[in-house]
Amino acid sequence: MRTIAVIGCGALGTIFCQNAVKLLSKDYQITSLLANHFEHAQTLAQSIGVTAVHSAEELLATNPDIVVEFAGRDALKQYGEKILSQGCDLVAVSAGALADESFKEQLIEAARLAGSRLYIPNGAIGGLDLMQTFALMGNAQLSIGNTKAPKSLNGAPYLKGQNLPEDQKVTVFTGSVKDAIEGFPKNVNVAVVATLATNPDQVQVTIQSDPTTEVNTHHLQIKNDLMSAEITISSKPDSRNPKSSTSTAWSVIALLKNLASPIRFY
């Protein structure tokens, strides 16, 4: 039985923990939880019968085999290298942090030296295996479109305090992945994950605000000289955190289940 520690006890961390104890109990045991606010970790820990801790040091002292991060890119930057250097595998949900090339290389080197693994889950999308196949064939080109309700985008640094209109659909952003993650750090993990999987020669991100939508929609188009594909995924945002899709937490459960299974889907 492998042990799991979780960083981040908000909406997605809660969904993950409550369902992991039901669906992964034959292969995994959650041992400890860490959150920015200890009382959040304590409440969730009590509900599933595990331990809440105050620091990353306490978390790692429980000797987890895998640490799952749901706490945001700042937390990933704060703890990621330390976790991997300890020999723990790390599931990084806040993959937007890996748009920082220097940080990404730090994590890769830490994992290489310690013999640990950094896992990037599908999150709110799917098809990362397909994207890698396209990339290996060469000359991959990728475009990513995100459509969300205004309340899912309001508050992003790119908007500089302005709220998006509630009466019309507007294109909020068109540009590079790097600029997208800086401008919308809580909204475009999808773009970073897809780019990491494909390392495309060309990539463009478009973000739209649609006041009539009740779902977060991600539309990806990828092509090379021999193939083309389109992936469109829509999912309801979490009611407690409209900037996130509930499927993100479930994708981590699917990842862990796949890792523990004698048959693996890729």
Q: Give the active site residues.
A: 218
C-alpha R_g of the chain: 18
The pair of three-digit structure tokens given for residue 241, joined into one six-digit string: 């955190």
CB burial of residue 12 (10 Å; 0-12, 13-18, 19+) = buried
The pair of three-digit structure tokens given for residue 165, joined into one six-digit string: 């209109």
**Helix, coil or strand: residue 149:** coil
DSSP-H helix ranges across the chain: 11-23, 38-48, 56-61, 73-85, 101-114, 128-137, 150-153, 177-183, 189-198, 247-260
- Cα 108–Cα 111–Cα 114 angle in degrees, nearest 5: 150
DSSP annotation of 244: E
DSSP annotation of 236: P
CB burial of residue 131 (10 Å; 0-12, 13-18, 19+) = buried
Best CA proximity match to 182, nearest among 97, 102, 105, 101: 97
